[in-house]
Every structure is written in C-alpha cells, then in structure tokens.
Structure 1
Amino acid sequence: MHPSSFNHPCIVCGRATTQWCARCQNAWYCSPEHSREDWLHHRGACRPTPALGYSNMIATQPPAEPNYISVTGILFVADEHRPRIISVKCRPPHHSSESLCPLPLLQPYFDSPPESVILTQGLNGELLRFPLHVFYSPMALAKASPINRAISHITSGAAPKPWYGNVVAFRFSGSLRQGYSEAGSNDLPALSAYFLTYQ
C-alpha cells in the first residue's frame, strides 16, 4: 500500500501528516520547517533510498554548515592545578582556501565576553616570533570566581597579582597577527613570565 495512504504523526509536533523525508522515507513531517528543525537529530539515522516519485515527499537536504577549522590553545582552568592543551573551533574563514584560524570561539570557557592582552615579549624581554594572545574574564573577581590554581602552579605562587576564573592563551601565526597557529607547552615560559610581571 502507498505510504501516503496513512496519516502519521509529525516527529516534531505530532500533527497528523502524509509527508515524509525524501532521503530515507522513514521520518514524517508536517512541514518543510519541521523537517529542517529536526535535521540535527534525524541526520544520524537518515539513509538515502531511491526516490520513487511520490509527490508528498519533503526534501531534507542538510543545512549548510560553516566550514569550521580548529586551533590548539592553552587553557588555565581556575580549579585545576595544571594548564591543558585544548582544541578550539574558530569562526569560519572568509575564504575557503584560508587555513588559519581568524578568531577562536571562546563561549564554552567564559560566561561573558572576555578581554584580552597580546604578549610580544617573553623571558628577559626577548621579542616573541609568534606573539601570544591571552583571554581572561574581567568579571571573574566580581563573581567570586576561584583563584586560578593553574597559573599559581606555573608561577610557583610568586605572581604578584592573583588571577581569577579561566584564562585561555593562543599563539599568533606570525608578527602580523593575521591568524592563529598551534599553541603548546613551549609557550608556557613566556606566559609564566607575563603572569610573574603583571601588576
């Protein structure tokens, strides 16, 4: 029997419908909007089947997803003793041929938009070939966030000013600061020097 002969509940709202996913023909939707709304959940089970020419199929093409790239940074978590290397998604580049991260997406690490400082000097005032970009929350102290133990650890507790809340550092790809490259443990001495001299 033709599947459209039966009313099925829409996966999203439960309304009776005779329309179904054009790709797998196993999911029922009352409108194209509900098909798009459910795509992130449905796509894992959606396996294309040959179209049979039925007129009440709803095309469920995947929505265009941004071309995310990632970059590694150093995360100083407030309540951990050691910094960790993390991978952070970046805002999609303007051109698909670009491979550098133009701007890391930091929402998972900060409740409000962070402020930042750019470090151009490392130990003993030497110029950094790859400047570092340090993001922090100016509101962390006001929110009674815990003292950042990871920063206290890498400075052996000698930093003149305590840091609060999370801190994330990235390495620029060069002195022009046009994008970010992979940060790692080799950047810790310069960061430690900064935390030790920050007043």
Structure 2
Amino acid sequence: MQTIHHPCRVCGRPTSQWCSRCNNAHYCSNGHQNADWGIHRAECRPTNTLLIATPPPVSSETIRVSAILFAVDEDRPRPIDLQCHPPHRPSQSMCPIPILQDYFNSQPGEVVLTQGLNGEVLRFPLHVFYSSTAMARGSPVNSAVRHITSGAAPRPWAGNVVALKFSGTRRQGYTDAGPNDLPALSAYFLTFSFQ
C-alpha cells in the first residue's frame, strides 16, 4: 500500500501526519504543529465536530463501537462500548461521531495516529482523545498510561484518554478498537510530549 506524503507546513519535509481537526495541514512532528498553531488557527476548520452533549435516545438503530479507555484511576486500559450519534444516511452502519461526554468534562484534545511502531503506516488510523487541561486542573496522573509505558512517557498524562480506530484511511467512521492497537498507542505515549 502506497502512502501519500505531503510537505510539512513548517519545514517542507514529507510527512503522512496531519492536523486532526481540519485534516488539511500536514506536519512532520508535534513540535512543528504546535509552532504553526498561531498561524494555522485562523484557517483551521473542523471536518466533524465532536459533540459533548446529551446523547440521543437509544433506539434499535443505535450504532455502537468499541474503544479503549485509559481511565485516570485504573491500572490497565480496558475496552468500552461507545454510543454514536446517528449517521447522516440511515443506511450507513459506521459510527460517524462518538459520544464522549461520560469521559471528558470539556471538549477533549485529539490527535490522529497514522504510524505505529517503527514508523509503519497504520492501515486503520487511531484517533486519541485526551483532556488537554486535566493537569492544570490538578487531575492525577493517568495510571493506565503510566502502566502501559512502564512510567517512561516523557510527560505525565492526566485525566482520561480514549482511543478509537478509524474504519479506513479515509477516516469517515470508526470500527472496533482492541488489544492489537495497544502497541501503537504505547509507542505514541512514549514519544508525544505536550508543549
């Protein structure tokens, strides 16, 4: 499978990583994405807005998807069942937008992982949601992330972390995430550092 590389907006180096909010800006590292945010912010428009709101009533047509929860107060990540907002087309069976309100008090930060261990391209990118303000609010360090990284993550993660798996590289919906996704998530936690 051939990967399409785009130039990093900061240095021009080819990359397959992009802004998870608008999917239009490409960066070779989190540092370059953070450095460009002051400029990119003015043009960055979300492709789909995650709704932290009251879930729709449960019906027989409700779509659910399995995700991985790194709960702040649990030692190990665990699978969870997330309800999704109804798809735009009734015939669509994928989860287009997960309901995350039970895990975050405010709009979560997010990142899309397109590469796993040793830089291999993920056939199904992972979407990681985290509380970007938990540490400032005094939330404890996330025990599950600390456990999966053996305490070697460069920065402490605080608050809950939820990981979902896209159903394909076009990222139009989600499929079930599971234990096979943990190595790529662990590699991400070990390399990502907050600015």
TM-score by length of 1: 0.67
For 1:91-170, list aligned pairs within 5 A. 91-170=85-164
Query: In structure 2, do the counterparts of structure 1 residues 84 and 117 end up closer, same or farther at CA, with 3 Å as the change threshold?
Result: same
Q: Which has the larger radius of gyration?
A: 1
Q: 1:173 aligns with which of 162, 167, 170?
A: 167
Q: What is the match of residue 73 of structure 2? A: 79
Q: What is the match of residue 84 of structure 2? A: 90
Q: What is the match of residue 32 of structure 1? A: none
Q: How many percent of aligned residue pairs carry the same amino acid?
A: 64
Letter paired with 2:118: N
SS of equivalent to 1:141: coil
Q: What is the match of residue 20 of structure 1? A: none
**Greater RCO, 1 or 2 (C-alpha within 8 Å, sep 6+):** 2
Given that 1:90 and 1:104 are in contact with CA atoms closer than 8 Å, whether structure 2 keeps it comes out as yes
SS of equivalent to 2:145: helix
Q: What are the superposed Cα offsets for residues 80-121 of structure 1, whole Å, 9 maximum, x if unpaired?
A: 000010000001011111010001000000011111000000
Letter paired with 1:169: A
Work out the CA distance in 2 between the residues paired with 1:115 and 1:101: 20
Deviation at 1:188, TM superposition (A): 0.2
Work out the CA distance in 2 between the residues paired with 1:184 and 1:65: 25
Work out the CA distance in 1 between the residues paired with 2:58 and 2:93: 19
Q: What is the match of residue 192 of structure 2? A: 198
Work out the CA distance in 2 between the residues paired with 1:184 and 1:108: 20
Deviation at 1:67, TM superposition (A): 3.5
Work out the CA distance in 2 between the residues paired with 1:107 and 1:120: 25
Given that 1:66 and 1:92 are in contact with CA atoms closer than 8 Å, whether structure 2 keeps it comes out as no
Deviation at 1:143, TM superposition (A): 1.1
Deviation at 1:68, TM superposition (A): 2.1
RMSD between aligned residues: 1.5
Query: In structure 2, do the counterparts of structure 1 residues 125 and 89 end up closer, same or farther at CA, with 3 Å as the change threshold?
Result: same
Aligned residue pairs: how many?
Answer: 137
TM-score by length of 2: 0.68
SS of equivalent to 1:90: strand
Q: Which runs of 4+ in 1 moved over 3 A?
A: 63-67
Letter paired with 1:109: Y
Q: What is the match of residue 184 of structure 1? A: 178
